[in-house]
Amino acid sequence: MRGLLVSAIATIGAGSAAMTVLHADAGLDPLHSVISEYAFQPAGWLLPTSLTAFAVGAVLVAEALRRAGAGRWTVALLLAWAASMVLIGAFPTDRPGVPLSLSGGIHRYAAFVAFLVMPVAGLLLARARLRYAAALRVLSAVAIGALVLVVVPYVVRVFGIPLTNDDIPAGLTQRVVVVTEVGVLALAALSMLGAPARRVYGLARA
């Protein structure tokens, strides 16, 4: 299992590095530019590369958890997050001002699924006797709070309430969700690394 976890941490690190380079190269405003818009930059290929690396890392962590006796729901949620990462990378969003396309729709709803399932997985992991259970709980709670702020603009617009990007900076809230969720994934791997399999996961199967 150690090989799985080391590989997972390496791929998560590679995905984080690719995302960092993309941000540094694009020079967009991180407070108001959502991450999906980076796909239209010269180094935009780094976005699907980063997301694919995160997906691979999630699959490896899910397999390690399965071998350690994790509940099926926890494993399934991590695999759903991984599948969502692949879909987000494979189906780019639409350029600003363009009507929603099939690709843009898949991208949007896959992102919503990803944003939703990882905090739930993190809270399930926090119930286990892991070394970083408290940190997992905090990161998951922050991700849920930021997700609410991500969703609010879409909800209020349905009711015709005007809302500008300055009211709730979409780029900032989205990045908080992404950073905390990748953090949950990395901590899940680190929590298991170096611990005996019988002591890794104390949560009853759920």
The answer to whether the beta carbons of residues 197 and 56 sit under 8 Å apart is no
Residue 187 has pLDDT above 50, yes or no: yes
Residue type, 190: L
The mean pLDDT of the chain is 86
CB distance 121 to 78 below 8 Å: yes
Q: Model's pTM, two decimal places?
A: 0.87
Amino acid 69: pLDDT: 84
Provide the strand spans (E) within the chain: none
Per-residue pLDDT tens digits for 139-165 = 999 999 988 887 766 666 555 666 555
Res. 203 pLDDT band, cuts 50 70 90: very low
Q: What is the pLDDT of residue 196?
A: 54
Percent of the chain at pLDDT exceeding 90: 53
Q: How far apart are CA 44 and CA 67, in angstroms?
A: 36
pLDDT of 84-133, one tens digit each? Answer: 999 999 999 888 778 889 998 999 899 999 999 999 999 999 887 778 88
The per-residue pLDDT for 198 is 46
Q: What angle is formed at CA 145 by the lines to CA 96 and CA 112, rounded to 5 degrees?
A: 45
If you average pLDDT over residues 160-180, what whole number do you get?
76
Q: What are the tens digits of pLDDT across the range 25-76? A: 888 888 888 898 898 989 999 999 999 999 999 999 999 999 888 889 999 9
